[in-house]
Amino acid sequence: MVTPLKDFNEHVIKVVDEVSKGVVTITTVKLGFESIFGTVPIRGLGSGFLIGENIIVTNAHVVSDARVVDVIFFDGSRFDGRVLIADTYRDVALVSVEKVPDGIRPLPLGDSNKLRVGEIVFAVGSPLGLPGPTVTMGVISAVGRNIVGENVALEDLIQTDAAINPGNSGGPLVNVDGMAVGMVTAIIPYAQGVGFAIPINTVKRVLEMIKLYGRPVRAMIGVYAASITPQLASAYRLPLKRGLIIVRVIPGTPAYEARIAPGDIITKIAGKEVSDVRELRRAVEDSIMQGYVELEVYRQGYGYRRVKVPIMVEEVG
């Protein structure tokens, strides 16, 4: 008798087998410096996955500054890799190879905006230098996590309890349908069941920017904002239940010069309603060529009033 559990098991085996063919091991050689020996080669290890005819996506921290990049497919075939772009801020890099073994197809890309907490996912990669892709299973523990450092700002990260080890970086996080929904990027040392992946929509966004501008770009107006929820609106007695409330304005930035202030509520940007910080960031990036973006703001004064504020857009980095 075939049980639903057995059917699911067979489905997972088939999905993992297909996905693993598009996952690669990436080995690198970088130059380091030691006080005694001077310049020395440092070997690195990571993972990646095929997203185009001969294009592989991985983490920027896996291949940045590498003098040698080798790409190894599941069948053992090895090719020289060429780093096309390395967006260290978003930790996304693209690597090209001259050819791909026969029968290997790019991984289909899902929609990370539709992920739900509790959804089953698989991390596929080459942890600890073990040969061939290996697979771990877990669930989506949380979404919208942020890790901000001096030269990196990983936003809207996916948190998962799927086991992630050194060498997994750059490998795909896939759902039960075999769609890549994220790219593994970080683990928290000494914490059990806490790993992070970059949403696949961030990878798609990098690809879009390359088509638009020829490179990944960053742009800013100088605000920190939060999405208004019914709970937030009720707690702070806000006049609106949708939009973005300004939490902080960075001094000296275009938003500061335009007199945007904490407590202002952005209802539209570039003429479109906005309720998510990602929509704000995308609209600002899309306005780089134009040089400015117009916000519609609900502003507190003597009561609330709606104003339109043009703000200069600055490309950074």
Provide the annotated active-site residues.
61, 91, 169
Query: Which one, of 269, 275, 268, lies nearest residue 287 by Cα?
Result: 269
Query: Residue 4 class from Cβ within 10 Å (0-12 exposed, 13-18 middle, 19+ buried)?
Result: exposed
Q: Is the CA virtual torsion 96, 97, 101, 102 positive or negative?
A: positive
- CB neighbours of residue 167 within 10 Å: 23
Structure tokens at 42: 């440092």
List of residues 6+ apart from 23 with CB closer than 8 A: 47, 48, 49, 50, 74, 107, 124, 125, 126, 133, 171, 172
Provide the residue count of the chain. Answer: 317
Q: Is the CA virtual torsion 159, 164, 169, 171 positive or negative?
A: negative
Task: List residues bridging with 183 in a β-sheet.
Answer: 172, 198
Cα 34 to chain center, whole Å? Answer: 33
Query: Which one, of 182, 217, 221, lies nearest residue 202 by Cα?
Result: 182
Structure tokens at 88: 């260290």
Query: Which one, of 52, 113, 86, 67, lies nearest residue 170 by Cα?
Result: 86
